[in-house]
Structure 1
């Protein structure tokens, strides 16, 4: 679901980034007010961003040879509130793009809209309905499943509109070459059949774990949290297990390199993709030069967690 650079036209990227600007502004204002009531919000945002980062490292095999992954958007909204979850997920997506080449730089606004807005807010609304009906776990599971699938649908529409929005005079697509009739079924198939169920299961299991181990850290709990040991243990466990994400071979649908896309199309990739932005991330694909892939994967995970920890420590001192 991480749309790479050059799959969306510059105009589309500009529109999505512009749409995200007021959302991020409101998120910052909402979170500032939340911090005044519950100071634990600052370190929790760092923990949540790290948690989402690690969740997304576990790739899942999809029929047809592609992969997908869970995100944890609804879970973060339940832990932090939807506005803080929006900021945490945006931080995660930004780090993934800048340091690991997962998702594009120009498409950051689109990816944030899909995974940091659609997913947590839709999922949280479902959770709230379940909570009012005294079935919060069912609400969480449904929210997680619906949230990730709506996010996938939104991404598929953004991709599928490109042949209509950006093409040459003879109608040849300049960016993503696949229309809505292909992008929507392809994206939804992966998430309806696999990723959505994993998202729901993981969200409920982690929610149950945190509710037992650290209930006062939940969004609607009293501001008495004193220990983050449960979260730290969870993060360490996911870091150690992260190489399991390497077991699923193949590239996620719509995230191919130009070479992979050329092979799929049996012709050259669209001009806008071959002549677009090509950013070389330091640890592209979570690999570290000179290390075997599993160890590089673990160190990439650890690096991300440490970056979030340092960033939140700096922000905490400011508050």
Structure 2
């Protein structure tokens, strides 16, 4: 679901980034107000960002030779509240793009809208309905499933609109070459059939674990003294297990580089893609030069957790 650079036109990227600006602004204001009553919100944002990063490293095989992954957007909204979850997921997506080349730098606004807005807010709304009906776990599961699939639908729409809106004089697509009739079914199939169910199951299991081990950290719980040892244990376990994400071979649908896309098309990639921005991330695809892929995966996961921890320490110190 991470849209790479050059699949969306610069105009589309600019529109999506502009749309995210007021959302991020409101998120910051909402979180500042939340911190006054729940001081643990700041460190929890760092933990949640790291948790989402690790969840997304576990790729799932999809029929047809592609992959997908869970995100944890609804889980983060239940843990932090939807506005703080939006900030945490945005931080995760930004780090993925800048340091690991997962998702485009120019496409950051679109990816943030899909995964840091649609997922947590839709998921949290479903959770709240379930909670009012005294079936919060069902609400959480439905919210997680609905959130990730609606985010996938939006990504499919963004990609599928490109040939309609941006093409050459002779009608050749300049960016994503697939229309809505291809992108929407392709994006939804992977998430309706596989990723959505994993998202729901993982969200419920982790929610149950947190509710028993650290219930005061949940957004709806009264503020209380919080121990973060349980969260760091969870993150450490996911870091160690992260190479399991390598078992699923193949590139996620719509995340191919220009060479892979040309092979699929059996023709040259659209000119807007070949002449677009090509940002080279330091640890592209979570690989570290000179190390085996599993070890590079583990070190990439550990590096991300360390960066989020240090970032939150800096924010807490400034406050």
Q: Same fold (TM over 0.5)?
A: yes
Structure 2 unmatched runs, 5+: none
Q: Deviations over 1:229-249 (max 9, x none)?
A: 111110000000000000000
Give the match for residue 238 of structure 2.
238
Which residue of structure 2 lines up, in the alignment, with residue 94 of structure 1?
A: 94
Distance 2:131 2:317 in 1: 35
Number of the residue aligned with 1:53:
53
Inter-partner Cα distance in structure 2 for 1:309 and 1:270? 41
Q: Secondary structure at the match of 1:187?
A: helix
Residue aligning to 2:196: 196
Partner of 1:218: 218
Deviations 1:113-168 (A, max 9, x none): 00000000000000000000000000000000000000000000000000011000
Determine helix, strand or coil for the equivalent of 2:67.
Answer: strand
Q: Distance in 2 between matches of 1:284 and 1:189?
A: 27
- SS of match in other structure, 1:68: strand
Summarize deviations over 1:70-93 as a string: whole Å, max 9, x none. 000000000000000000000000
Q: Does 1:270 align with 2:270?
A: yes
Three-state SS of the structure 1 residue aligned to 2:61 is strand
4+ long deviations beyond 6 Å: none
- 1:16 deviates by 0.2
- Per-residue CA deviations over 1:29-65 (Å, capped at 9, x if unaligned) read 0000001111100000000000000000000000000
Q: Tell me, what secondary structure is at the counterpart of 1:61? A: strand
The CA deviation at 1:209 is 0.2
Q: Tell me what 1:110 maps to.
A: 110
Q: Aligned partners of 1:4, 1:21: CA distance in 2, in Å?
A: 20
Whole-angstrom distance in 2 between the partners of 1:216 and 1:233: 17
What's the TM-score once normalised by structure 2's chain length? 1.00
1:84 and 2:84 are equivalent in the alignment: yes
* Structure 1 unaligned regions, length at least 5: none
Instruction: Give the TM-score normalised by structure 1.
Output: 1.00
Give the count of matched residue pairs: 319
Shift of 1:317: 1.5
CA deviation string 1:168-226 (max 9, x = no partner): 00100000000000000000000000000000000000000000000001101121133
Helix, strand or coil at the partner of 1:186: helix
Of stretches 221-230 and 106-115 in structure 1, the one that deviates more from structure 2 is 221-230
Name the structure 1 match of 2:30.
Answer: 30
Distance in 2, matches of 1:105 and 1:193, equals 29
Instruction: Give the aligned partner of residue 252 of structure 1.
Output: 252
Rounded to whole Å, the distance in 2 between the matches of 1:225 and 1:108 is 35
Aligned residue number for residue 311 of structure 1? 311
> In the aligned structure 1, how far is the partner of 2:270 from the partner of 2:30?
42
1:289 and 1:317 map into 2 onto residues whose CA distance is 34
Partner of 1:63: 63
Query: Does residue 148 in structure 1 map to residue 159 in structure 2?
Result: no
> SS of the residue aligned with 2:288?
coil
Distance in 1 (CA, whole Å) between partners of 2:93 and 2:256 is: 18
Q: Secondary structure at the match of 1:205?
A: helix
Matched, 1:73 2:68: no
1:318, distance to aligned residue in structure 2 (A): 2.1
Distance in 2, matches of 1:240 and 1:213, equals 21
**Cα distance between partner residues in 2 of 1:227 and 1:65:** 42
RMSD: 0.4
